[in-house]
Structure 1
Amino acid sequence: MTFKNTFYKLIILISVVTMYGCSSSPDDDDILIGNRSESALYDQAKKNMSQGNFNVATEILSTLDSRFPFGPHSHQVQLDLIYSYYKIGKTEEAIATIDRFVRLNPNHSDVDYALYMRGLTNLDADKNLFQELVGIDRSDRDPSKSREAFADFRRLINKFPDSKYAADSKKRMVFIKNRLAKYEIAIARFYMRREAYVAAANRGRYVLEYFPDSSEIQNALEIMVECYDQLDLDELKNNALKTLKLNYPNSNYIS
C-alpha cells in the first residue's frame, strides 16, 4: 500500500512539473510579449536594465524596435538598445544600431551620445579581460578597434565640441594614443629580434611623429639609437641620442 501511494505521488509530481514547464515555455513568453502594449514593454525593459538584466532587456528592446519603429518611445528604445548591447558585449549589434540611429536621426539631440557609445563599444572590443586579469601584456595584438574608437571620439569632439561627453572622449583618446604607441614599439622590438633594423627604426620614428605626447617616446628613441648603431648610421644615431639625452637623461643608453 505504501509503495503504491508513493508511486502515485511520484506520477502526480511529474505531471505537475511537466505542466509547469510547458506553461513557461519560450513560445508562451513570446505570446506574452506580443500581447503587451508598447508602454508596458518599455517599462519592463527599463526595469530589467535597472536590475542589470541586459540580456532580457535587449530581447524586449529589440522587439520594440522592430514592432514599433515610429512609436513614441522609438528613439529612446534605440538608445537603450545601444547601451544594452554594449553591456553584454555584442559589438556588431551595437555598432549597427548606432550607425542606423545616426544615419536616420542626424539632428537628434542625442547623436553625440550615440557617437560616444560607438567609441566606447570599439574600445571595449579591443580589451581582453582574461589577459588583463592575469597581467599578460599583449601590446602587439591587432589595434584596429582602438583606431576605430579613436576616430569615433575625434568625430564626436569635432562635431560636438561642447558635448558633455567631449572631456571624457579626450581622456580616452590619450589612452588610445598610448595603446597605439605601445603597439608600434612591440612591433619594432619584434623586428629587432630578427635583425630587421631598418624596419624597427622606422617604427620608432613613426611613434615620434604621430604620438609625440605618448608614454613611449623614450622607448622609441632608444630603439632608434640601437638600430642606427647596428646600421652604422652615425649621424642618425647621434641625432636620436642627443634628443634622448635632452629629454631622458637617466636612460641606460646614455653612457
Structure 2
Amino acid sequence: MQKKLSSVVATCVLLAVSACSWLPEKTDETKGWPVTKLYAEARSEADAGQYENAIKLWQRLETNYPFGNYATQAQMEIAYLYYKTGDQAQALASTERFIREHPTHPQVDYMYYLRGLISFNDQLGLLSVVYEQDPTERDPKATRESFAAFKALVDKFPNSKYTPDALERMNYLINAMAQYEVHVANYYFRRGAFLASLNRAQGAVSEYQNAPAREEALYLMMRNYEKLGMPDLRKDTERVLTTNYPNSRFLKGGQQDSSWWKFWSKNEK
C-alpha cells in the first residue's frame, strides 16, 4: 500500500512539473533596451510617482550597464526613491553603498546629506506628525544617527550646497537630544529618583549649553537639590538660572513651550 501511495505521489509531481513546462515564460519587455531608453523610462516613472516601477528600471539599468555614468546615476536614484517610499533600511543601505564605492564622486556630498535625511525622518516618526507627539519623548537612536550623518557632511564638505540646511537640522537635533535628557530627568523626578534625575539634568546642561531645554534642566537641578537637602547647591543653581533666563517661566510656575520641535514636523516632506 505504501509503495502504491509513493508511486501516486511521484506521478503527481511529474505531472505538475510537466504542466509548468508548458506554461509560456514571462518575457522581459526591457530586454535589449539601450541604456538611454532604460534611463528615460525610469525617469518618466519616477516623475509620475511610480516609484516602485522606477526602482526596478534603475536596477535593470545598473545590471545591464554596470559601468559608467548611467550606472552611478542609477544608484543615486535608487537610494532617493527608497527614501521617498519610506523604505529606510534599503535607502540607508543604498546610500552607504554609494559612499563606499564612489567616495570621490562629484555628487557624493548629496548622498551624505540624503543619509542624514533618512534618519532625520525616522527621528520625526509617524507619531509626531499624526498624533502631535513630541519626538524627543522617544528613543533618541535615530536622532544620534542623523546628527552623525549630517556632521560627516559638514566636516567633509563644508562648502557643499547642502551644508547650510544640514547645520540647521543639526541644531534641531541638538535640541531634541537635550530635550530627551530632560524628559528622562522629569521621569525620574516624578518617581522620586532624585539623584538619577539630577544626573540627567546635569548632563543636559553640560552637553547642550545652547539648547532651549537647558532652561528646564537647570530648573530640574534646582528642584532635585532641594529634594536631596542641598540648599547651597540649590541657591547656586537658581542664581545661574535667573542670570541666564531672567524671565524664566519655570520660576513663575509655568511650563516650557516645546513647540520648537514642531518646525520640522510641519515643514518636512
Name 1:129's counterpart in structure 2.
126
CA-CA distance at 1:49 after TM superposition: 1.7
- What is the aligned residue count? 229
- Aligned ranges 1:10-89 → 2 under 5 Å: 31-89=28-86
String of CA shifts for 1:125-149, please: whole Å, max 9, x gaps: 2222244223233422111111111
Q: Which runs of 5+ in 1 are unaligned?
A: 1-26
Matches of 1:100 and 1:52, distance apart in 2: 24
Matches of 2:183 and 2:31, distance apart in 1: 53
Name 2:263's counterpart in structure 1.
none
Say if 1:190 and 1:28 are closer, same or farther in 2 by CA, change over 3 A. farther
Match for 2:231 among 217, 226, 234?
Answer: 234
> SS at the partner of 2:149?
helix
Say if 1:193 and 1:88 are closer, same or farther in 2 by CA, change over 3 A. same
Name 1:164's counterpart in structure 2.
161
Name 1:22's counterpart in structure 2.
none
- Aligned ranges 1:178-217 → 2 under 5 Å: 178-217=175-214
> SS at the partner of 1:128?
helix
Matches of 1:151 and 1:52, distance apart in 2: 30
Q: Which runs of 5+ in 2 are unaligned?
A: 1-23, 253-269
Name 1:11's counterpart in structure 2.
none
Say if 1:235 and 1:71 are closer, same or farther in 2 by CA, change over 3 A. same
CA-CA distance at 1:251 after TM superposition: 3.0
Match for 1:150 among 133, 147, 151?
Answer: 147
Say if 1:242 and 1:30 are closer, same or farther in 2 by CA, change over 3 A. farther
> SS at the partner of 1:126?
helix
Name 2:244's counterpart in structure 1.
247
Which 10-residue stretch deviates more, 55-64 or 139-148? 55-64
TM-score for both structures, normalised by structure 1: 0.84
Letter paired with 1:184:
E
String of CA shifts for 1:11-51, please: whole Å, max 9, x gaps: xxxxxxxxxxxxxxxx9886113342222111111112222
Matches of 1:97 and 1:57, distance apart in 2: 15
Match for 1:102 among 94, 99, 112?
Answer: 99
Matches of 1:189 and 1:135, distance apart in 2: 20
Report the aligned-residue RMSD. 1.9
Say if 1:68 and 1:251 are closer, same or farther in 2 by CA, change over 3 A. same
Which 10-residue stretch deviates more, 200-209 or 123-132? 123-132
Letter paired with 1:176:
L
String of CA shifts for 1:76-120, please: whole Å, max 9, x gaps: 111111111110111111111111111111111111111000000
Matches of 1:242 and 1:30, distance apart in 2: 77
